[in-house]
């Protein structure tokens, strides 16, 4: 569908990756629409564990997407060395679930979660990439039900023609985690049709038998994510991440110190809440201002009757003695500091 080039952003001085639609694909309207939809889907949300999209456009008829460049390897590259450490797989799953939770909250289903689309960074974290076949959760079921994706990681209901959903993404991640822990895919086959038949039958060797040393909590999460019945899977990516934080070794059960994956509310809910808070603050300010501007209320005088008793003795007149005024030629006395006493 496209080629990806390593490039340098001369304006912002950063290394980027440029995905360029192949000329043979650019002439196909449906492929071009899908390519443009990838840019919109990836740009509709941001998350530290999702590859960022910086720009998209068209140059002389060639459609392109400018993305974050990660100079590491993919999970598919790492799995060629064999089964991975269970604790490392647990951390990787938590990173991917965080990005999927953000995508699902934005109304986007990835539809192609697989090892080749999980990139490993230099700091040990994981990022999910390639939303090229992502679709809106509210999309027309007839358009979303096309068999698009990698057969070995497709959920059984997708093979039956059902539309993609967040739970089908979780199923695909469950298959990825199984492969990372077991060192092999749970459903094998020489051709896609054989793989699809194996998936629909749901016949695979339990992870607890393949790697008994994997703790029961982690193995249980993987098996539940791979349930044939969508309702038996986790209801959300956040719920699956919470289950991953519980480790069970025999009779010992403890919760690992892993940052929780929070359910992100749709943007309109957040905006409505912010608008309500701002409106309440403005209303309170207006009421307070109106009270300071209002004139003070003057209460009418209250008539009172004062009853006095007549004096029992005649009033006493006290004589008042006044000093004579000093004449103009009288000399004033001296006070402290040499000033007159007048």
Per-residue pLDDT at 15? 94
Per-residue pLDDT at 334? 46
Closest CA to 89 of 176, 209, 206, 208: 176
Which ranges in 66-182 belong to alpha helices (H)? 75-79, 86-105, 141-144, 156-159, 166-182
Which residue segment(s) compose the domain that 125 sits in?
Answer: 75-267
Per-residue pLDDT at 61? 82
The DSSP string of 253-302 is EEE------PPPPPHHHHHHHHHHHHHHHHHHHHHHHHHHHSPPPPPPPP
- Kindly name the residue from 95, 112, 130, 169 that is annotated as catalytic: 112
Residue showing tokens 């501007």: 293
Give yes or no: residues 59 and 187 share one domain. no
Give yes or no: residues 83 and 41 share one domain. no
Per-residue pLDDT at 277? 73
Per-residue pLDDT at 48? 93
Q: Considering 68, 95, 123, which residue would you say is the last residue of a domain?
A: 68
For residue 274, being part of any structural domain is answered with no
Tell me if 26 sits within 8 A of 40, measured CB to CB.
no
Per the structure, how many domains does the chain have? 2
pTM over 0.85: no
DSSP bridge pairs for 67: 17, 53
Per-residue pLDDT at 281? 77
For the chain (length 342 residues), average pLDDT per consecutive 10? 90 92 84 80 86 88 89 92 95 96 92 94 90 63 53 87 92 96 81 63 83 93 95 97 80 48 48 65 69 53 44 47 48 47 46
Torsion angle defined by CA atoms of residues 174, 175, 181 and 187, in that order, rounded to the nearest 10 degrees: 150
For residue 330, being part of any structural domain is answered with no
Per-residue pLDDT at 116? 93
Q: Considering 267, 297, 326, which residue would you say is the last residue of a domain?
A: 267
Closest CA to 91 of 131, 49, 130, 52: 49
For residue 20, being part of any structural domain is answered with yes
Helices 216-225 and 237-244, packing angle to 10 deg = 160
Using alpha carbons only, what angle is made at residue 106 by residues 103 and 110, rounded to the nearest 5 degrees? Answer: 35
For residue 317, being part of any structural domain is answered with no
Could you confirm whether 138 is annotated as catalytic?
Answer: no
Per-residue pLDDT at 327? 47
- Note the Cα 46 to chain centre separation in Å: 8
CA 332 – CA 138 distance, rounded (Å): 104
Give yes or no: residues 36 and 155 share one domain. no
């Amino acid at each position: 569908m496209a080629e990806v080039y390593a490039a340098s952003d001369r304006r912002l001085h950063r290394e980027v990756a440029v995905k360029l639609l192949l000329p043979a694909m650019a002439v196909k309207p449906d492929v071009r629409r899908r390519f443009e939809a990838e840019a919109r889907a990836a740009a509709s949300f941001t998350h530290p564990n999702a590859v960022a999209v910086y720009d998209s456009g068209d140059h002389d008829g060639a459609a392109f997407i400018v993305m974050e460049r990660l100079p590491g390897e993919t999970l598919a590259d790492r799995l060629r060395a064999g089964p991975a450490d269970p604790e490392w797989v647990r951390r990787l799953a938590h990173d991917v679930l965080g990005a999927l939770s953000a995508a699902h909250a934005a109304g986007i289903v990835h539809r192609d979660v697989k090892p080749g689309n999980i990139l490993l960074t230099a700091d040990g974290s994981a990022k999910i990439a390639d939303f090229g076949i992502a679709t809106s959760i509210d999309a027309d079921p007839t358009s979303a039900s096309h068999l698009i994706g990698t057969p070995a990681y497709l959920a059984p209901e997708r093979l039956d023609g059902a539309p993609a959903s967040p739970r089908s993404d979780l199923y695909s991640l469950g298959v990825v985690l199984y492969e990372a822990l077991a060192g092999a895919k749970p459903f094998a086959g020489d051709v896609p049709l054989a793989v699809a038949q194996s998936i629909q039958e749901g016949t695979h060797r339990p992870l607890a038998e393949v790697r008994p040393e994997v703790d029961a909590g982690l193995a249980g999460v993987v098996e539940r994510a791979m349930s044939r019945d969508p309702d038996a899977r986790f209801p959300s990516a956040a719920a699956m991440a919470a289950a991953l934080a519980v480790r069970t070794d025999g009779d010992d059960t403890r919760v690992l110190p892993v940052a929780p994956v929070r359910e992100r509310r749709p943007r309109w809910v957040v905006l409505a809440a912010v608008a309500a808070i701002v409106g309440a603050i403005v209303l309170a300010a207006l009421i307070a201002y109106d009270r300071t501007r209002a004139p003070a209320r003057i209460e009418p005088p209250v008539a009172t009757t004062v009853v006095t008793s007549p004096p029992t003795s005649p009033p006493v007149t006290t004589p008042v003695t006044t000093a004579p005024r000093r004449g103009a030629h009288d000399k004033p006395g001296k006070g402290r500091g040499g000033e007159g006493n007048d």
